[in-house]
């Protein structure tokens, strides 16, 4: 059948949640369209295989040259296939702070305060610690504590507390500030993606149709209404899928503005330059790109309390793989970013503005460059950046990647925050618990030379994979969607993913994206029933 009540474009974190929830109850026929495959692979489902995830599960985008990064081209991995980026990420379960969502409400996004979104986080979450004022215990997204963190990851937490930084056992509870182990989106030691949480149960129950390997070329607009999509499948075969009631665009902060622009919806001058007929002039489509700029310090040590190349192929690693395959336990459950924390560069701030991800291995160039030996590294990222960028078409061909310009470090306030974050990170490295490992700074970080530190950061910083904002939600006519995620200017079209965030949240974006998908399902259901 090529006609459904509801079409969801994109099987990532938000799209999986929206499609899965809308399929419940049998009131609507729902079709989920995904450009990638089903991601039902050992290398995807085994957490410790994260560095070896297949290229077919990752779009592996590049940015345009970044002025704020001394002209370098940044790397932008994005998940491809069911589960989207939740199938390739580090599985860290973080929501952001109450301040983030209250700020959305203060910007005019009524109904998106922390008190409004918390019930949806709880509805989504199946935390093994059980339900309480901040957590859900029975939701489809499995969240669990790490069982087998590396000793070096625990040493990072101890080092932070030696500097009188608070220890935090729940970054999603009453307070975010402090240091500790991250909870992870895993179930019984396996990656628990949005697809495993929402899509696979719905497909198994026969209530959700999925079309994978289907590139969405454009949304069909007839008489001011979104009525379907044109997809391209194997061998270039085009196919039209009709939507009787609604189209929900959930292709992410890069894919959603790209598809809208390919459909003639976006900045009119840019669309004409690409040879695309303008359906609606909407300059905000693809604007306001925000992302967490991130710097990674790396230390080398002889200690095998950290991952290293000497482990590859040896008997210990073989045993670890066998243990995980049979018991789903042991070192192969690692999320790599095992511990971390949140810190305020200025005590007067309403919420932490720097996040740390500690990795018990030397990390270079997003893991694409292999480093010999054992060691550890740590990310420091700016949680609420001022820099803004954009997503535009690179051509009118949907198979070509969009033109991505995050505008990293184009606002000097971001570099100041990042410098402060890096300096604290190195103070933690120098505290006794980590200093005992005798780590050698691979980049001789010039902490006492402000100009040299800035140069080093601009030469090495890049994303920590949290793009948002390119189809922003807001109360005004020029915003892309309203506060119920309906596209402003066309009927029957919704956008539900991280692209709708008016401001980037203070943390990882996977859980908030699923919350957005959950809310979209309720909004669409209510609109269609009434």
What mean pLDDT is predicted for residues 388-408?
98
Out of 135, 324, 379, 466, which one is annotated catalytic? Answer: 466
What mean pLDDT is predicted for residues 274-288?
98
Identify the band that residue 310 occupies on the pLDDT scale cut at 50, 70 and 90. Answer: low
User: What pLDDT does residue 309 have?
Assistant: 73
Helix (H) or strand (E) holding 455: helix 450-460
Bridge-based pairing of strands 61-66 and 72-76 is antiparallel
* Chain segment 100-156, per-residue pLDDT in tens: 999 999 999 999 999 999 999 999 999 999 999 999 999 999 999 999 999 999 999
* Chain segment 38-65, per-residue pLDDT in tens: 999 999 999 999 999 999 999 999 999 9
Please give the full DSSP string across 380-392, using - where no structure is assigned: EEESS----BEEE
User: What pLDDT does residue 313 have?
Assistant: 52
* Chain segment 199-253, per-residue pLDDT in tens: 999 999 999 999 999 999 999 999 999 999 999 999 989 999 999 999 999 999 9
User: What pLDDT does residue 255 have?
Assistant: 98
d(CA 526, CA 530): 6
- Which domains does the chain carry? 1-57+77-113+192-289+467-530 (3.50.50.60), 147-181+293-382+410-460 (3.30.410.40)
Identify the band that residue 318 occupies on the pLDDT scale cut at 50, 70 and 90. Answer: confident
User: What pLDDT does residue 319 have?
Assistant: 86
* Chain segment 464-504, per-residue pLDDT in tens: 999 999 999 999 999 999 999 999 999 999 999 999 999 99
Left (φ > 0), alpha (ψ -120 to 50) or beta: where does 95 sit?
alpha
Please give the full DSSP string across 347-362, using - where no structure is assigned: TTSSS--EEEEEESS-
What mean pLDDT is predicted for residues 186-201?
98
What mean pLDDT is predicted for residues 173-200?
98
* Chain segment 408-429, per-residue pLDDT in tens: 999 999 999 999 999 999 999 9
User: What pLDDT does residue 314 have?
Assistant: 67
Q: Integer distance in angstroms from the first to the last C-alpha of the chain?
A: 26
Burial class (CB in 10 A: 0-12, 13-18, 19+), 430: middle
Percent of the chain past pLDDT 90, that is, above it, reads 94
Q: List 381's β-bridge partners, or say none.
A: 294, 355
Identify the band that residue 369 occupies on the pLDDT scale cut at 50, 70 and 90. Answer: confident
| pLDDT higher than threshold 70 for residue 311 | no
- Measured from the Cβ of residue 62, the count of other Cβ atoms closer than 10 Å reads 12
Q: Dihedral sign, CA of 145, 149, 155, 160?
A: negative
* Chain segment 431-453, per-residue pLDDT in tens: 999 999 999 999 999 999 999 99
d(CA 421, CA 442): 18
Active site residue 466: yes
Q: Dihedral sign, CA of 310, 462, 172, 185?
A: negative
Mean pLDDT of the chain: 96
User: What pLDDT does residue 530 have?
Assistant: 75
Identify the band that residue 312 occupies on the pLDDT scale cut at 50, 70 and 90. Answer: low
Within 23-174, residue ranges assigned H as helices are 42-45, 98-106, 114-124, 151-162
User: What pLDDT does residue 209 have?
Assistant: 98
DSSP, res 195: I
């Amino acid at each position: 059948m090529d006609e459904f009540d509801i079409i969801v474009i994109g099987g990532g974190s938000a799209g999986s949640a929206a499609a899965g929830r809308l399929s419940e109850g049998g009131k609507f026929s729902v079709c989920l369209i995904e450009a990638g495959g089903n991601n039902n692979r050992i290398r995807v489902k085994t957490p410790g295989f994260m560095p070896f995830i297949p290229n077919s599960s990752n779009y592996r985008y590049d940015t345009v040259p970044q002025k704020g990064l001394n002209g370098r081209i940044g790397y932008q991995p994005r998940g491809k296939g069911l589960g989207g980026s939740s199938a390739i990420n580090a599985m860290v379960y973080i929501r952001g702070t109450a301040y983030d969502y209250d700020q959305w409400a203060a910007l005019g996004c009524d109904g998106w305060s922390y008190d409004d979104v918390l019930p949806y986080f709880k509805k989504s979450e199946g935390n093994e610690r059980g339900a309480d004022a901040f957590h859900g215990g029975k939701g489809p997204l499995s969240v669990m504590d790490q069982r087998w963190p590396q000793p070096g990851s625990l040493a990072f937490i101890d080092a932070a507390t030696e500097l009188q930084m608070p220890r935090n056992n729940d970054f999603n509870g009453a307070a975010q500030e402090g240091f500790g182990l991250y909870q992870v989106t895993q179930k019984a030691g396996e990656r628990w993606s949005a697809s495993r949480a929402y899509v696979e149960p719905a497909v198994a129950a026969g209530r959700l149709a999925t079309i994978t390997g289907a590139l969405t070329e454009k949304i069909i607009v007839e008489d001011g209404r979104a009525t379907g999509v044109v997809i391209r499948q194997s061998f270039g075969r085009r196919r039209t899928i009709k939507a009787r009631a609604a189209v929900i665009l959930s292709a992410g902060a890069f894919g959603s503005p790209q598809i809208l622009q390919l459909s003639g919806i976006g900045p009119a001058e840019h669309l004409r330059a690409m040879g695309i007929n303008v359906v609606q002039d909407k300059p905000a489509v693809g604007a306001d790109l925000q992302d967490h700029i991130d710097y990674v310090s790396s230390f080398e040590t002889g200690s095998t309390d950290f991952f290293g190349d000497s482990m590859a192929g040896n008997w210990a690693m073989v045993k670890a793989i066998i243990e995980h395959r049979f018991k789903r336990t042991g070192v192969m459950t690692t999320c790599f970013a095992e511990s971390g924390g949140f810190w305020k560069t200025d005590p007067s701030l309403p919420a932490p503005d720097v996040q740390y991800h500690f990795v018990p291995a030397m990390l270079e160039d997003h893991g694409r460059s292999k480093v010999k030996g054992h060691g550890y590294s740590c990310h420091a990222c700016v949680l609420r950046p001022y820099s803004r960028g954009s997503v535009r078409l690179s051509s009118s061909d949907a198979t070509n990647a969009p033109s991505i310009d995050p505008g990293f470090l184009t606002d000097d306030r971001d570099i100041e925050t990042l410098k402060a974050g890096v300096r604290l990170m190195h103070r933690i490295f120098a505290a006794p618990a980590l200093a005992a490992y005798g780590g050698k700074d691979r980049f001789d970080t010039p902490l006492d030379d402000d100009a040299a530190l800035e140069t080093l950061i601009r030469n090495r910083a890049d994303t920590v994979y949290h793009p948002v904002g390119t189809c922003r939600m807001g109360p005004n006519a020029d915003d892309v969607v309203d506060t119920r995620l309906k596209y402003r200017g066309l009927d029957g079209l919704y956008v539900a993913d991280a692209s709708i965030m008016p401001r980037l949240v203070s943390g990882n974006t996977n859980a908030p994206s699923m919350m957005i998908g959950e809310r979209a399902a309720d909004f669409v259901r209510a609109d269609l029933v009434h």
